[in-house]
Structure 1
């Protein structure tokens, strides 16, 4: 306690540079601890559920032509069938995600948005949340009743139980709020605000959707195993069920193998390749930042060893042993650590919005969790490192230094600390440049369609007559070049269907189905037709289909197509079916269009695509502007709002959606930017402290050289020589580390910028230039000083 009191009293003592130490350490802690909290948060997904280690998701797995793909969805009846057939399964449930819906309250006509799913009556038995109002099991067993989250209930206000609303996407279907559950935590893979009872499904989709065993694979199925159940045994039971309903011979006949895999819910998120990669890189960034901050603190403390040598020697004269000196330095480190943490907390909460936006989670979720124990452990390690190493060096100061001047000529340890900081600065700066280049490449890349002057609105819940009217009305606006509709947007997740040929049972491959498009769709999107022609338009029933280049190449490989594909007939599941006979009608290929990107570069869907024509306007309205600007968007939005006064329909620019797809990359880029700038700043603070110490130690030597005729540049070169010996290899080493880290990060992208050698050299040269400039500026003042001022006290 005495050492802590002394440390507090010495906070503003001249020559200690305590403010500099606290600020540099506090800023480093602010960013480093947030990054560590983010890594822990990503690793903790779904672990809050009781018995999470016994809860698994069922994934479908398909092997076709040697290619194995699994998919985190199943058919509606899968979970229930597994529970009935496999004794090791304690319980089963499923949800049917339906995206974010807009709801209109029937009493107030106010609108609210919430992520919506259909859920079983036993959902909260498998994935429990505190039930605040109502009987969840009863509500989710009753048609057209829903449970809502506490977050949504708070927005609606009052006693929400018994209130009714209508989903804008499903007009005429009145839903009644039957209960409220506590909001699902942020570290949940599946978060939802509205749970519609599963018996309500027939009112919104095909009646058999929630009970069929194959097809319509949109359900997330969960099972919970008994404590001593074996996962391999359960998988074996699942395979038997598959063979019972779909024999190996039948699978072979259709050209693929079908099975299921199990994934523990607490492992799904953290085992994702992109999450693993991001966690690894953020951990590396946090380590580099915190280690640099600690090294800088130690460097500044040790740089004062000359000025504090008499103080330490006097302590030894009065009987202080090595452990007492260590205690004194630990006391200082403790006080500085506490103040640095206070500063870090102030910075984090002052920039709360920026932190939450960058890391995609609230501060409460990041810091007020079990992860806080890890943060305390990290702080403890930094405290010990910051106190023990300086304590060891200070304890070696001889007692004789109390009676004569003490000169510390060994600078190896100081240069070693700077070496580490320069490595971190070079590493982060180089990473930042390449991450920034990749991000700019992605948001400005050509995805195979023209989107600069394109906008869209979702018209789900609007009848076809109103959609047709909207197309006609918007075409009259002077800003608008063309209008059409489509079922599937290219950056959205595409549903899959399978391709067969007439007279054959073999399913060749799965396609990303674009479903129906309207008049002039390919022209508006700027997608070229490379073979054949576009659709015959304005006909009620079309049997034409268009396919992309990938489709043709795959059929040539698998079906032996060698000639012109125009005019060939194909069968596509879910299309052309006859409800009476169950037979499907073939579609004729009328044209081939160039490949375009589905999804983003970070998560690209590389399946072939097909599209069909429909005279009836589909659910997505596409508006092409002559020149898209804010005024034009506002005018068209007003027109849409006037056409649909009872619907919350928003016009969205394609350009904005494209940028939003790369939010994670932008957030990571900004994290590296902040971390890199702070690391470089901390390193420069340490460099300034080192050069100041060296200048003071060699002040009389500089004066003698000046009297002897040495130029200012010659004096500066003395210091530059020492720094460049460590800065050059450190920056090179940092660039090498950055090369491997950037390579790892870019594995997630299907297209990437080249890792050009000259950019690595340029990054290293830039960091080196900053380091040497700081040294020059710091030494220049002393070198220009009157040498008499330095020699008059000799």
Structure 2
């Protein structure tokens, strides 16, 4: 037989539903394969560095407290001298480097006041020895050894005009400090934990902040990296690292303070994949991708098997002309492979037609998703799909008896079809239920009460400005009738906060670590509606520089440790970086960080009589016209600046961007899966109705009503639908519970939620069954019997 001609001729045959099969398979593959690519992208973080398997991030491990009551804390930040110290004192360390961030997506400008945005880091001259990037212009080691010199990425250089070597730039937070561009490097790929656009030489740090690059203890702001000699086991370096500490750190003083500090090495390639949140996300995305592709495959096979009766005679005729089982198998395999190729073409077109949507949902460019390694794996998946969708139909069709050409083929193959339908319905229920749960959890994330009020609130970051400039902004904004209140603060609660340690006067024991919110003015608590539950808040007339208000958790913990029966109000304490302080008030605990990454440490706010970095603007009404007036005031004061005026609530929502992406992925996956399942259900019920046309006609002649006929088919499907709904709901509950593990606030997984989702799927399925059966049930039974 000329199989190719037969395949082409059968492509557009109406009763074989090939177009529907191909379109549903192509759509499922488009979404499924791009989600799989995202999973591979997450698992491939930092593997682009040469010898990446030998590169490690240094982690601090601090045990705080007395024996038997120790609290272990792990930090990826270290003191400045740790990384170069390992290079100097641990022979197995081939090279080492350390970096510190200067600003994430921070504005910077050129001498002619052109503004750009980039992520700044400061790094030592060995940075590209450990984490190399190809250089386009310049010698990285020489440039990073020069004060006030920097390297910029290729994309930043292009935005600035291309030939930027020798030009100077200024970081917005550090006006007056000119940084000279000495070289250009290739952009860092998207699949990295360390993203940056501008690398400033670390020897410049004293021009911007305290220089702790040679400190062995304290100022833990650095990320330290080491590259080990080939064949070195990082665990074997523990004794040498400990000896390095003993030679350079005051181990006895730390012991007296109740601290045991050590260092471990984390493999660079596993920094992302070992992250619990990333693990859960990749696991759930894998489940969604599998559900989509599996549903598409099941749907293709279900529709194909539903054509068994129509194609049975054709297959039998082929056998009459000498075709053997292997010939039939080749024909079916060839047909399914051809359909798969067309489906893949459709999926590729869909991906690139909707690449903007895909990139927004997955937060990564399509070009980065489809690396050579990923494409090879996707090719293997496509081969497996080809085998699956080819083997089952070819097995069934090759077993069709030759006698079927002489009589009606009545074999229903309902076992196959019901099994396939069961898995499709299970997958649909799983995704629909998971979609509802994730949607409810996302609503909790963005709307849960953090313990303070941020409605109608804008904020402006006045970094790099002096006291007079900040005060001018405050005075101008207070003059606007649209502004209700102005306050300033050094930190906003939703940011990750620095930590400082609490001590009692004349006692060197470290009691506990706090989330330090630093300074705020007298209006901050009122504007944020943070209630004072003991003592008093800040007051411009009576508050002093050393006054501090602490959270309820802070006050309770300190009172218990110090055995203060009368509470913490009025007590003197010491807090590292602030020294002597007096507690004047206690406020209710507020959320520090986010629901998904909550900082559970006690917190404290210090009084500041000077305008702080963040200017908080409470509006009477948060309308576009009012926001524009605030923007115009800022633009009038600083016409050369690129003014950014975020809405506080929008910033809160932005924290949960990854959860929103996950919700969007499930939404698209759920919709596509539901459509594919309904297509399969329509194909199945159409075949069943056609197969039982005579039975329906006879029942009608004997007095059965339309509702009786519909009940017959509904009842016939219920026994497979109910188990699928239950199994899908259970799978969704397990997946949702896993995803929500680290959320401090969780939506309720009530039985009513699962019953509602199952009922919605059930109603949709039964509606499709009834509508599809209605046409045949309404036909004249006499005409049907005449035809049959």
TM-score, normalising length from structure 2?
0.98
Per-residue CA shift, 1:512-535, capped at 9, x if unaligned?
111111121111111001100012
Q: Give the aligned partner of residue 608 of structure 2.
A: 614
C-alpha deviation, 1:247, in angstroms = 5.1
1:354–1:255 CA distance, 2 compared to 1 (3 A): same
Distance 2:27 2:620 in 1: 49
Distance 1:318 1:563 in 2: 101
Give the 3-state SS of the residue equivalent to 2:165 in structure 1.
coil
Question: Is this contact kept in 2: 1:458–1:649, CA < 8 A?
Answer: no
Give the 3-state SS of the residue equivalent to 2:97 in structure 1.
strand
1:540–1:103 CA distance, 2 compared to 1 (3 A): farther
Counterpart of 2:276 (choices 248, 270, 273) is: 273
Distance 1:427 1:182 in 2: 43
Mapping of 1:195-234 within 5 angstroms?
195-206=199-210, 208-234=211-237
Distance 1:5 1:40 in 2: 39
C-alpha deviation, 1:493, in angstroms = 1.4
Q: Give the aligned partner of residue 692 of structure 2.
A: 698
Give the 3-state SS of the residue equivalent to 1:783 in structure 2.
helix
C-alpha deviation, 1:251, in angstroms = 2.6
Distance 1:530 1:540 in 2: 18
Counterpart of 1:157 (choices 142, 158, 161) is: 161
Q: Give the aligned partner of residue 568 of structure 1.
A: 571
Q: Give the aligned partner of residue 41 of structure 2.
A: 41
The CA RMSD measured in Å over matched residues stands at 1.4
Q: Give the aligned partner of residue 6 of structure 1.
A: 6
Per-residue CA shift, 1:636-688, capped at 9, x if unaligned?
01111111223223111101001111111111011111111111111111110
Distance 1:560 1:167 in 2: 48
C-alpha deviation, 1:377, in angstroms = 1.1
C-alpha deviation, 1:558, in angstroms = 3.1
Q: Give the aligned partner of residue 69 of structure 1.
A: 73
Structure 1 residue 708 and structure 2 residue 702: aligned?
Answer: yes
Structure 1 residue 56 and structure 2 residue 70: aligned?
Answer: no
Question: Is this contact kept in 2: 1:4–1:334, CA < 8 A?
Answer: no
Distance 1:243 1:120 in 2: 25
Distance 2:760 2:363 in 1: 32
Counterpart of 2:91 (choices 87, 100, 108) is: 87
Q: Give the aligned partner of residue 100 of structure 2.
A: 96
Question: Is this contact kept in 2: 1:4–1:335, CA < 8 A?
Answer: no
Counterpart of 1:183 (choices 187, 197, 203) is: 187
Distance 1:117 1:251 in 2: 30
TM-score, normalising length from structure 1?
0.97
Q: Give the aligned partner of residue 302 of structure 1.
A: 305
Mapping of 1:590-601 within 5 angstroms?
590-601=584-595
Q: Which moved more, 1:646-655 or 1:323-332?
A: 646-655
C-alpha deviation, 1:2, in angstroms = 4.4
Distance 2:392 2:213 in 1: 65
Structure 1 residue 397 and structure 2 residue 363: aligned?
Answer: no
Question: Is this contact kept in 1: 2:444–2:745, CA < 8 A?
Answer: no
C-alpha deviation, 1:248, in angstroms = 4.8
Counterpart of 1:778 (choices 772, 783, 786) is: 772
Distance 1:83 1:695 in 2: 77
Q: Give the aligned partner of residue 22 of structure 2.
A: 22
Q: Give the aligned partner of residue 364 of structure 2.
A: 361
Structure 1 residue 491 and structure 2 residue 494: aligned?
Answer: yes
Q: Give the aligned partner of residue 319 of structure 1.
A: 322
Per-residue CA shift, 1:267-322, capped at 9, x if unaligned?
01110000000011010111111101000000001100100111111111222222
Question: Is this contact kept in 2: 1:42–1:270, CA < 8 A?
Answer: yes
Q: Give the aligned partner of residue 676 of structure 1.
A: 670
Question: Is this contact kept in 1: 2:217–2:249, CA < 8 A?
Answer: no
C-alpha deviation, 1:235, in angstroms = 2.2
1:305–1:41 CA distance, 2 compared to 1 (3 A): same
Q: Which moved more, 1:241-250 or 1:643-652?
A: 241-250
Question: Is this contact kept in 2: 1:531–1:591, CA < 8 A?
Answer: yes
Distance 1:442 1:232 in 2: 39
Question: Is this contact kept in 2: 1:458–1:621, CA < 8 A?
Answer: yes
1:239–1:783 CA distance, 2 compared to 1 (3 A): same
Distance 2:3 2:427 in 1: 33
1:560–1:261 CA distance, 2 compared to 1 (3 A): farther
Per-residue CA shift, 1:609-654, capped at 9, x if unaligned?
1111111111111111112121111110111111122322311110
C-alpha deviation, 1:539, in angstroms = 7.2
Distance 2:564 2:723 in 1: 58
Give the 3-state SS of the residue equivalent to 1:596 in structure 2.
coil
Counterpart of 2:351 (choices 344, 348, 352) is: 348
Question: Is this contact kept in 2: 1:39–1:279, CA < 8 A?
Answer: yes
Counterpart of 1:105 (choices 101, 110, 113) is: 110
Distance 1:369 1:137 in 2: 31
Per-residue CA shift, 1:477-534, capped at 9, x if unaligned?
0111111111111111111111111111100111111111112111111100110001
Distance 1:252 1:50 in 2: 40
- Residue segments in structure 2 that go unaligned for 5+ positions in a row: none
Q: Give the aligned partner of residue 126 of structure 2.
A: 122
Structure 1 residue 239 and structure 2 residue 239: aligned?
Answer: no
C-alpha deviation, 1:728, in angstroms = 0.7
Question: Is this contact kept in 2: 1:235–1:262, CA < 8 A?
Answer: no
Q: Give the aligned partner of residue 521 of structure 2.
A: 518
Q: Give the aligned partner of residue 142 of structure 2.
A: 138
C-alpha deviation, 1:4, in angstroms = 3.6
Give the 3-state SS of the residue equivalent to 1:562 in structure 2.
coil
Counterpart of 1:718 (choices 701, 712, 715) is: 712
Give the 3-state SS of the residue equivalent to 1:224 in structure 2.
strand
Question: Is this contact kept in 1: 2:46–2:52, CA < 8 A?
Answer: yes
Give the 3-state SS of the residue equivalent to 2:16 in structure 1.
coil
Mapping of 1:466-545 within 5 angstroms?
466-537=469-540, 542-545=545-548
Q: Give the aligned partner of residue 580 of structure 1.
A: none
Distance 1:210 1:457 in 2: 31
Give the 3-state SS of the residue equivalent to 1:488 in structure 2.
coil
Distance 1:238 1:459 in 2: 42
Give the 3-state SS of the residue equivalent to 1:470 in structure 2.
helix
Give the 3-state SS of the residue equivalent to 2:732 in structure 1.
helix
Give the 3-state SS of the residue equivalent to 1:306 in structure 2.
helix
Per-residue CA shift, 1:550-576, capped at 9, x if unaligned?
111222343333322111111111114
Counterpart of 2:295 (choices 292, 296, 303) is: 292
C-alpha deviation, 1:541, in angstroms = 5.5
Q: Give the aligned partner of residue 562 of structure 2.
A: 559
Counterpart of 1:769 (choices 745, 763, 769) is: 763
Distance 1:64 1:561 in 2: 22
Distance 1:672 1:765 in 2: 19
C-alpha deviation, 1:778, in angstroms = 0.5
Give the 3-state SS of the residue equivalent to 1:482 in structure 2.
strand
Question: Is this contact kept in 2: 1:699–1:790, CA < 8 A?
Answer: yes
Distance 1:389 1:557 in 2: 70
Question: Is this contact kept in 2: 1:459–1:649, CA < 8 A?
Answer: no
Distance 2:2 2:284 in 1: 42
1:160–1:2 CA distance, 2 compared to 1 (3 A): farther
- Residue segments in structure 1 that go unaligned for 5+ positions in a row: 577-585
Q: Give the aligned partner of residue 744 of structure 1.
A: 738
Q: Which moved more, 1:134-143 or 1:274-283?
A: 134-143
Distance 1:348 1:786 in 2: 47
Distance 1:417 1:685 in 2: 13
Distance 1:497 1:239 in 2: 25
Distance 1:463 1:543 in 2: 22
Aligned residues: 783
C-alpha deviation, 1:409, in angstroms = 3.2
Give the 3-state SS of the residue equivalent to 1:676 in structure 2.
helix
